[in-house]
Amino acid sequence: MPDELDCPAVLLIGYNCEGALKPRKVITGKDKDPFAIKTDLRWCIVGPTAHLNNPGSTVGHCYRISSKEIPPITPTSVIRALEMDFCDINLKEKTVSQEDIKFLQILKEEIQHNNEGHLEMPLPFRARPHLPKNKHLAEVRLKHLKAKFTKNPKFEEDYIKFMEQIINEGDDEEVCDASNDGSTWYIPHHGVYHPRKPGKIRVVFDCSAKFKNTSLNDHLLTEPDLINALPGVLCGFREHRIALICDVEKMFHRFHVSPGDRNFLRFLWWKDGDTKTELKEYRMRVHIFGASSFLGCANYGFKYLANKYRSEYPLAAAFIQRNFYVDDGLISVKTDEGSKQLISETNEICSKGQLHLPKFVSNKKGLFDEVLEGNNDTTTKEVDLNHNILPTQSVLGVKWNPDTDTFVFNITLDPGAATRRGILSTVESVYDPLGFIAPFVLVGKRVLQEMCKQGVGWDESLPSGIHIK
């Protein structure tokens, strides 16, 4: 028997790992003797090392005898190593934490339709907090924002336009009381431009801003993994001959916050965007981009809507549950009739929660004539889906050509960037979740590997032997 070692546990095996714990062979001793079990993790010896006068003084001992061997380099092991670049996440590996359960329980118990037809949910707090008065922090941050407006008039114009839009659409409301009983929190905000859409600004509410060592996000539960697997959504998009894509317009501002939680979402702004006037207090009425819970609330609300009306609209309910990746829907359908019914049902079910699908795009021309007939949604009517050449669409970050019904990859190679840094940037810029062009990208990875072996610096010129590759 080996000596007992004083060392910490490094691996805990749960009961859900039946394969690892299943006895493959058992050697039993006499009564009250230890016994040996062989599992896929080698032999284990279970039981006390000696008879004890006081059996309650210890639980027992467990020894593990392990051995290691260097695996042979076989074609199978090489293939397995290469396939690591192309493996997908196994959906069975998803786990649910106690916080996930609490998050879902809070929303399940309190979600409801309000008088405006929107789904309304509370902020999912770990425990309802008592927060310090942080209005001064919001005032200081707004002062810095005003200074930035002075230096950049275009930024000021875009920012004010965005804020006026959310005010006009009823996403927030002005408040007059200045009470602070621990359930009031002021959120600083700043603007960011979309990297691929110059001029398109988004105002982000900084729920992670700290004041006296706390922030709103510190008290919010983060969203559980409610998002469908991206490879699965893309594969479903290629299953049948008629492909359809759509997206929910401003999905994240369509789900309202329960009135009792809105004071946690206060912010400061100028009336009509006039920076020469006094600051006014507002509070958001919708779940906001910047809160750690916003994505989970939006996803939960959207799927709740589908589940609630699945008996009336079975096609749309299944579409929303299985074929949406956040606010983008992708699906393929066998027949024209099935496509039209799906579009009609999806518009109906979304209208139940004040959600809007401004357009559908398909590889089948003329598909939308009957669907649009009698539709009062002018936004949908303005989208010409039947002209001779449909523009290339972005499908979850991948370009899709509806005319040829193919995915398209446009890679720009800059000869001036032929350095280790430039090649890495080019390789990493290729977004290919299904691995269609992985064999080509692998060439770039091999070049990088060779440069690392030769010790080439990040910005050094390529050696002549590698430059041609």
Tens digits of per-residue pLDDT, 308-320?
999 999 999 999 9
**For residue 416, what are its two tokens?**
């001036």
What single-letter amino acid sits at 78? V
Judging by beta carbons within 10 Å of its beta carbon (0-12, 13-18, 19+), is residue 78 exposed, middle or buried?
exposed
| pTM, rounded to two decimals | 0.73
Q: Which DSSP helix (H) or strand (E) runs through 121?
A: strand 119-121
User: Is the CB of residue 273 less than 8 Å from the CB of residue 162?
Assistant: no
Give Cβ neighbours of residue 174 (< 8 Å, ≥ 6 apart).
280, 281, 282
Residues in the chain, how many?
469
Tens digits of per-residue pLDDT, 382-410?
334 444 556 788 888 899 998 889 999 98
Average of per-residue pLDDT values in the chain = 83
Tens digits of per-residue pLDDT, 256-283?
999 999 999 999 999 989 999 999 999 9
Split at pLDDT 50, 70, 90, the class of 159 is very high
- The pLDDT value recorded for residue 452 is 87
Q: Which DSSP helix (H) or strand (E) runs through 174?
A: strand 172-175
Split at pLDDT 50, 70, 90, the class of 80 is low
- The pLDDT value recorded for residue 67 is 46
Split at pLDDT 50, 70, 90, the class of 378 is very low
Give Cβ neighbours of residue 46 (< 8 Å, ≥ 6 apart).
34, 35, 36, 37, 60, 62
Maximum mean pLDDT: which of 51-65, 197-211, 328-342: 328-342
Q: Is the pLDDT of residue 182 over 70?
A: yes
Average pLDDT over residues 331-342: 93
